Amino acid sequence: MTEPRAYRAELALRRAMPEGLKTLGRLVRLTFQPPPPSAPTIPQGQLDGCALMSDRVEMLRRLPKGGRVCELGTFRGDFARAILDIVAPDELHLVDVSFAACRQDVLDHPAVRRHETTTTAFLGASPAADFDWIYVDADHGYEAVVADIAAAKGRVKPGGLLVFNDFARIVRRGFGIFGVHQAVSEFAVAEGWALAYLCLNGEALYDVALRRPA
Ligand SMILES: C[S@@+](CC[C@H](N)C(=O)[O-])C[C@H]1O[C@@H](n2cnc3c(N)ncnc32)[C@H](O)[C@@H]1O
């Protein structure tokens, strides 16, 4: 994975780029890069116990209170605020290459531990399975999500959850490519983690939570 400082610069450059130029870049990428294959089918046995939620906030209401939680990708900190208010974790570890846009009330919260680095650098720094759940919402490209899963799966306690935002497949002009659906489906099939929650969303960008076998 790219070194944190280089990745931070790359993200800042991408954000500063005019929309027209970004769309042109995506068009060129989609022209030369074949669309990814369909995701594998997750066996029904891993889906039978999955609860359907109206949205991701409803899932937060069902999660155990307290505990040690991690959010990969925080941006403005709005979902981190919801986690703090609803789940009241003992520790909320926030990981982002930059907290420049993050709301101050989140950064100042006593439960918050801030890690200004890449997701994989943070997760790879310890082998301990020390999080009750990890929320994955950083880079949504296929390779990046595969890397996040590889680094995060061992950091979740047995029986804990790995939760993904934007569980979607988008291969469309102007939108870039979202590989979350494919990467998560491949992981579920390969490692047998059951789906615990599927959370709906008005843009059909769902959240999905997978439970680490106990
Ligand atoms: C979609 S936003 C997060 C939104 C937030 N979870 C919420 O729901 O309010 C994605 C964030 O991930 C960060 N990010 C992207 N790739 C990253 C990486 N490899 N390591 C750390 N942060 C990353 C970006 O800087 C951005 O702030």
- Our answer on whether the CB atom of 166 is closer than 6 Å to any ligand 1 atom is no
Separation of CA 118 and ligand 1 centre (Å): 9
Note the pLDDT tens digit of each residue in 65-98.
999 999 999 999 999 999 999 999 999 999 999 9
- Quickly list H helices, 118-214: 119-123, 142-152, 180-191
Going by pLDDT thresholds of 50, 70 and 90, the confidence category of residue 183 is very high
Separation of CA 45 and ligand 1 centre (Å): 32
Q: Where are any strands of DSSP class E within the chain?
A: 51-53, 68-72, 91-96, 112-116, 131-136, 156-167, 170-172, 176-178, 194-199, 206-211
CA distance 44 to 120: 31
Query: Which among 116, 117, 119, 148 is the best mutation to test ligand 1's pocket, defined by most ligand atoms within 8 Å of the CB?
Result: 119
Q: State yes or no: pLDDT of 198 exceeds 90.
A: yes
| pLDDT for position 29 | 73
- The whole-angstrom distance between residue 82's C-alpha and the CA centroid of its chain comes to 16
Q: State yes or no: pLDDT of 201 exceeds 70.
A: yes
CA distance 113 to 94: 6
Least confident of 21-25, 112-116, 135-139: 21-25
At residue 135, the 3 state secondary structure works out as strand
Residues 32, 176 contacting (CB under 8 angstroms): no
The two structure tokens encoding residue 63 = 């999660």
Strands 91-96 and 68-72, how do they pair?
parallel
β-sheet bridge partners, residue 185: none
Radius of gyration of the chain (CA): 17
The two structure tokens encoding residue 142 = 């296929």
- The whole-angstrom distance between residue 148's C-alpha and the CA centroid of its chain comes to 8
- Our answer on whether the CB atom of 118 is closer than 6 Å to any ligand 1 atom is yes
Percent of the chain with pLDDT over 70: 97
Q: Which of 74, 117, 118 is nearest to 92 (CA)?
A: 74
At residue 60, the 3 state secondary structure works out as helix
| pLDDT for position 38 | 87
| Domains detected in the chain | 4-211 (3.40.50.150)
Q: State yes or no: pLDDT of 37 exceeds 90.
A: no
* Choice between 8 and 77, residue whose per-residue pLDDT is larger: 77
- Our answer on whether the CB atom of 75 is closer than 6 Å to any ligand 1 atom is yes
Note the pLDDT tens digit of each residue in 120-162.
999 999 999 999 999 999 999 999 999 999 999 999 999 999 9
- Our answer on whether the CB atom of 137 is closer than 6 Å to any ligand 1 atom is yes
Closest CA to ligand 1's atom 20: 118
Separation of CA 107 and ligand 1 centre (Å): 15
Q: State yes or no: pLDDT of 1 exceeds 60.
A: no
Q: State yes or no: pLDDT of 170 exceeds 80.
A: yes
Query: Which among 5, 75, 107 is the best mutation to test ligand 1's pocket, defined by most ligand atoms within 8 Å of the CB?
Result: 75
State the chain's mean pLDDT as an integer: 92
Total count of residues recorded for the chain: 214
User: Which of left, alpha, beta for 114 (phi over 0: left; psi -120 to 50: alpha)?
Assistant: beta
Q: What angle do CA 164, 146, 31 make, to 5 degrees?
A: 100
- Our answer on whether the CB atom of 85 is closer than 6 Å to any ligand 1 atom is no
Give the position of tokens 């930059």: 98
> Quick one: average pLDDT of 40-58?
98
